[in-house]
Structure 1
């Protein structure tokens, strides 16, 4: 649907005067926030992305192909109304272990929210509070005070890590980098909790990955980023740094110096709109973005200056180069948290100067979204309206498939054909067991007062989980294990204990929808953060000896077959903190003695389809004693999942034997369409 904007600057708004800008000496940033003045017309060597060519992937068309010449790397393919532009990056070389302390970062009030508060301690000499950080201080070449990451320890075993360059597909590489980052961040958070220290595990994880060069898209570029798709969501600014989407860890404007028709100029390549300034972002196709500066919390507010990011945006106004735009939204599961949504490519249509609410002059830039792109923030805003008013969702067959059994209604929709719904089944929220299974070790009730705390050696529930609580304070799973033991009814802790997650039921707005070639599927109206609990696989636990695995009639039979490599490697990342990853392997994997059929009874989990590149994994969890310690099959998010993205998990490797019985299911043809598709599943 075509959208028209009625926004235009008022007569009182001043247009930008570009003439005096030529006399300014611009400061150009290298990735990760380091800034350096350009001293010579000869550019340094550019660290380019490893994705210059993609054999076997004709669908991927890089926006700018790298061509090495005497001036560095020339990017061709960025065009405006006057035809193609040849741009040469001047200052795109990475300095992974450096943070800038100039006022660009200090002025930004768009800093991401922390998972945990920053730890402070008192100096033994002066008694004043000192902010503890993983960064040390030093002076730069030009005398500027910079923060430098302390040298990290050597990787535990780098051979265990699948480096980004080993993947032939940019999407696979980006997902691998993000998965490793989150695994490392989760482990650092666990270690801090054991020491009762609150720090920034996200920044520390990002610094370690940058230092060890475990990242993607290391060269700055104009336009799209290989492997990053419109609609992708990020919960930390540093995540956008490690995949090359937005280099500064705090500043909202990312820019580089490029050569246009034998003239060197700064141009903006990406901006983040995160609420720090007076931006107008209600229209999904138009963004009115405020310039940076003048808003330093440590000094008096003042008029913004046309330099650095503001200068780059002004140059992009008449160069008409494409700019990546990242918008933000409030995290519904964290009061102070934000979620960053990549919304695609924009171009600046207009720029002017006006007075802000505080009475100081700020620069304004009106950006229009390029046509022909898939929806980004528009999907987000649409699903938020559905959550507030489900009746707005069109093509609904049933407003609640669960008939009121679930805490949140499950919508049933069909936008593909005239099918009226799935075959009849009884909706249940609990597993029904036909006989007791005594091979699972039952959890023991703890004696904790109120809630279980990390590092409490007297907590029996923590000890049976290997000494760590399996979930963070936000209810996110820390790592995949053979078994997770939650607190049970025999525990003295309260219902609000952080070790009670899956037993509370679903907390997402699901919809069961009709797919084009794989029957019915499952997706969520909510964004889902990596490690979040999704749902349990409910149904009838059946006797394995009575199951005909060659019978294809039961498409809803769940068995704990060995999953693919992606699921097995979900814990990878602890190696970067000099710890074993505890990763499963096909050689050491042992399936559980349990099979669940959801053909006659089940819940939303029965509609999750298979994928060789899944975004969900299953995890055995035990949280009761009444059934002799039976495990429950719980599903968790492998990665950040945007709204309206189909939820899939790996059904298992075809032909793989189960246990000592040597029983395997007949392989079925896979239609997941993933670049890493195995062709079949079992």
Structure 2
């Protein structure tokens, strides 16, 4: 794997005696019953509390079957041997030389139970639990093994990012699927006996936990999570649990409990700052975080807090100098949950104290300071992008070459930004909002396909003409999100009676997000959005002048820029792939599409999509769509988001194999 586990996890540092702090608290605060530690289960009646996931390393091997080109191959045996090796190294990390010699004779004697280092509690058959049958691990607590992952190679970074991306795709597509099935169930129920709604976010997390698809459950990672970037956006609290960022669905502090630590000290690993406590103060790089406990059911402080549970864990993390992951949650317009959660990086707890809160009760406060040399906070980028969108900045930053390079050909402006050099090349091309097909394409059958269209008046319904053309199900949900990638999607055409806002007219309605073509030192020209793009959302069409194979051969001799659609990797097959959820899942194969034997000339006319950079771990996919003609051989290339894309993050595509003659990727920029 190329993964190095830092064995000096807890440096020798003076440890504060908690006795003085606890005594001071009990003198000023009435004795309270200890607060129960957070329940590590999904809070939903449909969840099976007896389930327990498989280790995430086994999930990696499951993803290995569809691993993108250029990523390291990981066999199941290699994964288990690497896991066992790391476990043994960590188990003996804090022992002296004598103990390490004794370890060869007796493994249990290698752990110094009187040491102040935080070490895992010995467990019988610890290594065998990795490969045990999932049904035999029910109700097994989360691992007590604390590790920090460092020195990842580029291949490892890409590998883990792909694992996280695919896990999030399963969660997003399953959530959309659950919501659609629930909507069908409710529509088929008598209106006088309406059924309660099923929370797609909770149900999806529950199912994935039952299938062992939650990440980082076999270890407690201190510090950064491999594959999760600062600025990553989550719309649902449960999704944070699924990827292993924060292991508890409700509590604000995630920590290793004292019962799982050999020396009885709990250790905090992450917190969620969401404004749930009135005494919190958040200034970005510095957070005054209020401990948990003492609130009533209305989230009002109604009692004193004690130094126990997560509060004690925060104090212990401060004493040992252990960093804490910080996730911020706040309300966000346009979010399906009404909120967003953004990972803002690593912080150190530098101080803690007791004081009277605004409600008059004693609260424990912690001062956290953001560690240096980290990327900009995602929450700051969100606010900055919102200021740009709303025109709230008093002085717009320099570097804007054009406030709309589309010349009003898109519904929203497309900005051109360059603060690096004087290059304004994108302005030399005519902006093309939709591809230009040869006239003979429209002569292949009637427009709209199949000789006609649907008769729906207010919008397409189940079993209508256009639904049947798509195999009996619509490609989009009621919010316009792509439910499942398919070889080809039929949208309603000009001969359909449904209105422009029909659920089956998504990609043909054009761009909705505010994009910015920008100059990058790494990729030349790139594309980013000022809006937060939800996974499954339509982005734009990849446009150009369509050429036949014969025409393309002539144009290529002139050195013109050509795009070959058949070289795009079929990432659409990954979106909505629920093969790890349903045993009878079959990859979509209808309709059968012939090989795309045409090219796109973008040497004179193009749109924003032509500036998307190449990536083996992309956040955008290509979905073929027909709506204005019926020729399967000449579909539109529509782009959709594969994950939640934060504002100002670069968009990327997998352009596939290199050109067979020049050896270059077919990227126009």
* TM-score normalized by the length of structure 1: 0.70
Q: 1:55 to 1:541 in 2, by over 3 A?
A: closer
Contact 2:56 2:214 in 1 (8 A): no
Contact 2:282 2:288 in 1 (8 A): no
User: Structure 2 CA distance, aligned partners of 1:653 and 1:279?
Assistant: 55
Contact 1:87 1:258 in 2 (8 A): no
Give 1:189 deviation, angstroms: 2.9
Q: 1:647 to 1:90 in 2, by over 3 A?
A: same
Contact 1:231 1:343 in 2 (8 A): yes
Can you list the C-alpha shifts for 1:609-639, whole angstroms capped at 9, x where unaligned? 2222221111122333699996322100112
2:663 to 662, 668, 671: 668
Q: 1:323 to 1:422 in 2, by over 3 A?
A: same
CA RMSD of aligned residues (A): 4.4
State the secondary structure of the residue aligned to 1:576: coil
Contact 2:413 2:514 in 1 (8 A): yes
Can you list the C-alpha shifts for 1:92-141, whole angstroms capped at 9, x where unaligned? 99xxxxxxxxxxxxxxxxxxxxxxxxxxxxxxxxxxxxxxxxxxxxx999
Give 1:20 deviation, angstroms: 6.1
Q: In the alignment, which residue of structure 2 is the partner of 1:528? A: 533
Contact 2:566 2:597 in 1 (8 A): no
Q: In the alignment, which residue of structure 2 is the partner of 1:231? A: 231
* TM-score normalized by the length of structure 2: 0.71
Deviates more, 1:489-498 or 1:212-221: 489-498
Q: 1:56 to 1:562 in 2, by over 3 A?
A: closer
Matches within 5 A, 1:347-358: 347-353=348-354
User: Structure 2 CA distance, aligned partners of 1:627 and 1:589?
Assistant: 10
User: Structure 1 CA distance, aligned partners of 2:662 and 2:215?
Assistant: 35
Matches within 5 A, 1:222-621: 222-257=222-257, 263-278=263-278, 283-297=283-297, 302-306=302-306, 307-334=308-335, 336-353=337-354, 360-377=361-378, 378-389=380-391, 392-422=396-426, 424-437=428-441, 442=449, 444-453=452-461, 456-457=462-463, 459-548=464-553, 551=556, 556-564=561-569, 566-582=571-587, 590-621=594-625
State the secondary structure of the residue aligned to 2:264: strand
1:87 to 83, 99, 118: 118
Contact 1:451 1:496 in 2 (8 A): yes
Matches within 5 A, 1:12-31: 17-19=21-23, 28=37, 31=40
Q: In the alignment, which residue of structure 2 is the partner of 1:217? A: 216
User: Structure 1 CA distance, aligned partners of 2:536 and 2:179?
Assistant: 14
Matches within 5 A, 1:624-663: 624=628, 631-654=635-658
Structure 1, gaps ≥5 residues long: 1-15, 35-45, 76-83, 94-138, 143-165, 656-664, 673-680
Contact 1:562 1:589 in 2 (8 A): no
Can you list the C-alpha shifts for 1:268-287, whole angstroms capped at 9, x where unaligned? 21111234333656533122
Q: 1:488 to 1:19 in 2, by over 3 A?
A: farther
User: Structure 1 CA distance, aligned partners of 2:666 and 2:119?
Assistant: 42
User: Structure 1 CA distance, aligned partners of 2:258 and 2:334?
Assistant: 41
Give 1:575 deviation, angstroms: 4.3
Contact 2:327 2:342 in 1 (8 A): yes
Q: 1:602 to 1:291 in 2, by over 3 A?
A: same
Q: 1:202 to 1:629 in 2, by over 3 A?
A: same
Q: In the alignment, which residue of structure 1 is the partner of 2:189? A: none
- The alignment of Structure 1 onto Structure 2 pairs a total of residues equal to 551
Matches within 5 A, 1:187-202: 187-196=177-186, 198-202=197-201
Which structure carries more helix by proportion?
2
Structure 2, gaps ≥5 residues long: 1-19, 44-53, 61-70, 75-81, 96-114, 125-137, 142-155, 187-194
Q: 1:288 to 1:436 in 2, by over 3 A?
A: farther
Which structure carries more strand by proportion?
1
Q: In the alignment, which residue of structure 2 is the partner of 1:128? A: none
Q: 1:578 to 1:276 in 2, by over 3 A?
A: farther
